[in-house]
């Protein structure tokens, strides 16, 4: 199928609030057969499930499941107590709570990562509503599946998440079938529009910076609460790490599309998006969804290869090895935090090197799939690590200014 014919119906369906990281809605409603469990459909429960699948050692050495260990206790300004667990940190961070103007993958600054973590204090008032809507969403999906009807996730949930995070309606984006909607962009939509840290090398680097900060905090921790805080920082970092195990995230040149491709076709998305940033985000989403659906061969730092399905296929049998690998990586990473606490040594270089052995390597993964799964967009770099060009397939040449164009075979 030609990309244009895929894109135009897609554009018409976009609620656009789930631009990239929060794929709460399917562009085509999945059928019951395609959706054996609600968890298959969503990213957030996948993140949460990973956190719940590992154990963390407390200061006494006992092991507690990640969805039981409270690492971020907060009191909202209205006096509501929030007991966020390690698993909560993985699913909330970056997608619902964070600082949209920060890209740790680009700056590689610990102080930026710290600002991301501190955003929990700044935006804590949003969290009760986010969790409330999230629970409703899960219940809705469960009921829909029980009813035997094809599952249709209403975009009303995206509207609610936008509303829960200080926005109004669809933010600045006007759904074409729904008339103008000049609402405000909430934190949820802002984060989705600038989510570079959830993709490729930026995700790996954002994780490494956050993991390094957590290791340092753990090595200096002198009591249970300080260790728990180190785990909270680790949970934030693990959001980005777990994203690298999703086929739709590992090689999509998210940042490059935003930065390198400047003359987007003005007509193509006309009337749908309020600004070019959102158009570019949609280009990345196109590739994100495509790779996620088709799956990729992943390659880690040791050169081991395995198959990964995308965001919505975490619990499928095809993805079982990938699932085991991401859980093992989060477990090992958390164990490093405890060891740093016990030994009072962050052992940064050795610990990061160990993690890089088992995490998907975006360069090796990109190379491994170039022929078998040609990318829609493909960024290449020179030795100085400055971007050189973004290659774009034929149907997207008018959407992005690029000096080299390569038409992927078989697309």
Site string for Zn ion, 166-205 (x = CB under 5 A): --------------------------------x-------
Q: What is the dihedral of CA 43, 47, 53, 55, to 10 degrees?
A: -170
Nearer to Zn ion, 228 or 355 (CB): 355
How far is CA 372 from each of CA 251, 296, 310, rounded to the nearest angstrom?
A: 14, 9, 16
CB 372 to Zn ion: min, Å: 25
Nearer to Zn ion, 51 or 346 (CB): 51
Q: Is 238 in the site for Zn ion (CB under 5 A)?
A: no
Size of the site for Zn ion (CB under 5 A): 3
Query: Greatest CA separation found in the chain?
Result: 61
Half-sphere exposure of residue 11, counting CA atoms within 13 Å on the CB side?
18
Nearer to Zn ion, 21 or 204 (CB): 21
Helix (H) or strand (E) holding 379: strand 377-381
Calpha distance 339→345 (Å, rounded): 8
Residues whose CB is less than 8 angstroms from the CB of residue 353 and which lie 6 or more positions away in sequence, other chains included: none
Residues within window 338-357 making contact with Zn ion, judged by CB under 5 A: none
CB 22 to Zn ion: min, Å: 8
Q: What is the DSSP letter of 150?
A: P
CB 395 to Zn ion: min, Å: 27
Stretch of 25-33, 63-71, 239-247, 393-401 lying at the interface with Zn ion (CB under 5 A): 239-247
Nearer to Zn ion, 57 or 242 (CB): 242
How far is CA 183 from each of CA 113, 153, 186, rounded to the nearest angstrom?
A: 30, 21, 9
CB 95 to Zn ion: min, Å: 5
Nearer to Zn ion, 185 or 198 (CB): 198
Calpha distance 274→272 (Å, rounded): 7
Nearer to Zn ion, 21 or 48 (CB): 21
CB 94 to Zn ion: min, Å: 5
Q: Can you read off the two tokens belonging to residue 269?
A: 């998305």
Quick one: how far is CA 259 from the chain centroid?
19
Nearer to Zn ion, 288 or 366 (CB): 288
Residues within window 242-281 making contact with Zn ion, judged by CB under 5 A: 243
Residues within window 8-67 making contact with Zn ion, judged by CB under 5 A: 21
CB 383 to Zn ion: min, Å: 29
If we measure between CA atoms, which residue out of 377, 366, 388, 364 comes closest to residue 253? Answer: 377
Calpha distance 349→155 (Å, rounded): 44
Nearer to Zn ion, 144 or 202 (CB): 202
CB 222 to Zn ion: min, Å: 33
Q: Which residue is nearest to Zn ion (CB)?
A: 198
Calpha distance 303→104 (Å, rounded): 26
Stretch of 71-79, 240-248, 307-315, 320-328 lying at the interface with Zn ion (CB under 5 A): 240-248
CB 26 to Zn ion: min, Å: 18
The alpha-carbon radius of gyration of the chain (Å, integer) is 20
The beta-carbon contacts of 77-85 under 8 Å, at least 24 apart in sequence, are 77/124, 77/125, 78/125, 80/128, 82/124, 82/127, 82/128, 84/120, 84/127, 84/232, 85/51
Q: Is 86 helix (H, G, I), strand (E, B) or coil?
A: helix
Nearer to Zn ion, 40 or 400 (CB): 40
Nearer to Zn ion, 97 or 217 (CB): 97
CB 310 to Zn ion: min, Å: 12
If we measure between CA atoms, which residue out of 172, 217, 130, 224 comes closest to residue 16? Answer: 172
CB 88 to Zn ion: min, Å: 14
Residues within window 306-345 making contact with Zn ion, judged by CB under 5 A: none
Residues that bind Zn ion (CB under 5 A): 21, 198, 243
């Amino acid at each position: 199928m030609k990309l244009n014919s895929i894109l135009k119906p897609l554009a018409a369906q976009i609620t656009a609030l789930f631009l990239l990281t929060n794929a709460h809605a399917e562009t085509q409603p999945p059928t019951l057969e395609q959706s054996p469990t609600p968890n298959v459909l969503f990213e957030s429960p996948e993140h949460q499930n990973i956190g719940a699948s590992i154990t963390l050692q407390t200061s006494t050495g006992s092991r507690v499941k990640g969805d039981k260990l409270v690492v971020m206790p907060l009191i909202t300004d209205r006096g509501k107590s929030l007991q966020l667990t390690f698993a909560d940190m993985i699913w909330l961070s970056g997608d619902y709570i964070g600082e949209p103007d920060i890209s740790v993958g680009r700056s590689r600054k610990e102080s930026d990562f710290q600002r991301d973590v501190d955003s929990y204090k700044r935006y804590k008032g949003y969290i009760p509503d986010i969790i409330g809507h999230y629970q409703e969403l899960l219940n809705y999906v469960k009921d829909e599946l029980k009813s035997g009807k094809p599952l249709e996730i209403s975009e009303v949930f995206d509207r609610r998440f936008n509303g829960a995070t200080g926005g109004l309606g669809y933010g600045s984006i006007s759904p074409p079938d729904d008339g103008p909607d000049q609402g405000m962009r909430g934190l949820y939509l802002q984060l989705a529009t600038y989510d570079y840290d959830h993709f490729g090398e930026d995700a790996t680097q954002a994780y490494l910076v956050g993991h390094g900060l957590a290791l340092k905090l753990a090595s200096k921790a002198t009591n249970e609460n300080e260790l728990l805080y180190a785990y909270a920082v680790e949970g934030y970092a693990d959001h980005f790490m777990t994203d690298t195990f999703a086929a739709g995230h590992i090689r999509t040149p998210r940042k490059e599309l935003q930065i390198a491709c400047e003359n987007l076709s003005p007509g193509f998305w006309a009337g749908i998006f309020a600004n070019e940033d959102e158009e570019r985000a949609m280009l990345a989403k196109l590739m994100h969804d495509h790779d996620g659906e088709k799956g990729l061969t992943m390659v880690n730092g040791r050169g081991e290869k395995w198959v990964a399905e995308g965001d919505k296929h975490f619990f499928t049998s095809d993805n079982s090895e990938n699932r085991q690998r991401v859980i093992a990586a989060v477990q090992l990473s958390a164990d490093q935090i405890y060891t740093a606490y016990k030994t009072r040594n962050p052992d940064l270089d050795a610990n990061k090197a160990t993690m890089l052995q088992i995490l998907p390597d975006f360069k090796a993964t990109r190379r491994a799939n170039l022929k078998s799964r040609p990318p829609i967009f493909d960024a290449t770099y020179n030795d100085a690590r400055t971007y050189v060009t973004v290659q774009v397939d034929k149907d997207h040449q008018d959407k992005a200014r690029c000096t080299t164009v390569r038409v992927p075979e078989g697309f």
